[in-house]
Amino acid sequence: MADNRHGRQSIAIGVLFLVGCIGLGDMSLGTVAAKLPRLRRWQRPVPDNAVAQAENDIPIVPVPPPPIARPPENREHSNGGSQLPEPRPSPGTDPPQAGNTFSQPDGSTQTTPLTARQLLQRAAERCATLDSYIVRLTRRESLKGKPGPEEIIAFSFRKQPFSVHFKWLGKTAEGREVVYVKDRFDNKIHTKVAAGDSLLLPAGARLSLAPDNPLVRSASRHPITDAGICHCVQSLIALLDAQERGDRRQGTLTVLAPQQRPEYPQPVETLERLIPPAVEPELPRGGRRLIYFDPDWHLPMLVITYDDKGKEVEYYRYDRLITPVPLDDDDFNPDKLWPRQPPPPQQGKPGPPLSQ
């Protein structure tokens, strides 16, 4: 019974840090334009040309999804219709292109694929513009050989100070929230638990633990400080740097031909990482990770990991990205997000004696 209670308690803390694109050893991953209740002050109605959701899709309010088929420079965002600027090229370099197109003798054209370095450089330049965003994350993960449920999470991110807020949507862990701000609020992870998270805590109760607490570490494969789309990019660049130096102990990166995925209307640029045995604890015999780059944002917004037998063990998808967003300190303040309620008055106890 004690072990079971400990396991259920771990779920409450299971911030499920939603990172993990790749890592050196056990680094990170990383998916929706959802808004948190505080930010409804800048809600706009869904445009007529917004992409229709499937019947079984979880509705995300209040921000509508940007049309999938439009490139970022044509998107209108909910903060007054401003457009996301194109990535800023590094000084002295040409802006990144989607590939070099040249003519064939028969009059047809062919586009050369980008190298891994070009894909990641373009993603890094995009990340330089992402000071704040809100995105939907769809997540599936197997732990200790057991597949977990699919989770849909609204994820708010602010670069400075490093701030993250996760809010579970749908039926899985409905009501659970997690917030963390580096070096603030005692530098702890603050969790609002969902029904069934813990035998000891009711739904809506708050729990605060240090990031290195054993309960936290046992409930998540990745530290919360690695959360976010762009940490994935940084980890991939570090891996590629090592590979180009001849150090392949952490695995290798290879560009694949554009892959067709049901999440996207057209084939998308793809990197494959081969993971050697014993590099990641959950992949003792090694595995394979596919990193798909969103065709509009040019960021690794879909990551799927397979074990040595080809079985899916991780699925992370970011979509409906909205940036920039006016996130402020209150959006990551657990006392503002979940105000403490005063205890109900006790009934049946006699009051103080009447004065004579």
Q: Specify if 344 maps to a domain.
A: no
Q: Specify if 354 maps to a domain.
A: no
Q: Over 70: is that where the pLDDT of 117 sits?
A: yes
Q: Specify if 89 maps to a domain.
A: no
When mean pLDDT is compared over 16-25, 85-94, 121-130, 335-344, the highest value belongs to: 121-130
Q: Specify if 318 maps to a domain.
A: yes
Split into its structural domains, the chain has a count of: 1
Q: Give the domain CATH number at 7.
A: 2.50.20.10
Q: Over 60: is that where the pLDDT of 225 sits?
A: yes
Model pLDDT for residues 36-76, shown as the tens digit of each residue: 434 433 333 333 333 333 333 333 333 333 333 333 443 33
Name the pTM for this structure.
0.71
Rounded CA-CA distance 356/281 in Å is 74
Of 98-107, 151-160, 175-184, the least confident? 98-107
Q: Specify if 90 maps to a domain.
A: no
Q: Specify if 172 maps to a domain.
A: yes
Q: Specify if 126 maps to a domain.
A: yes
Q: Which domain holds residue 14?
A: 2-41+59-79+115-337
User: How does DSSP assign 263-276, residue by residue?
Assistant: TSSS-EEEEEEEE-
* CA pseudo-torsion sign 320, 323, 325, 331: positive
Q: Specify if 97 maps to a domain.
A: no
Q: Residue 17's closest CA among 8, 3, 28?
A: 28
Where is 230: in which H helix or E strand?
Answer: helix 229-244
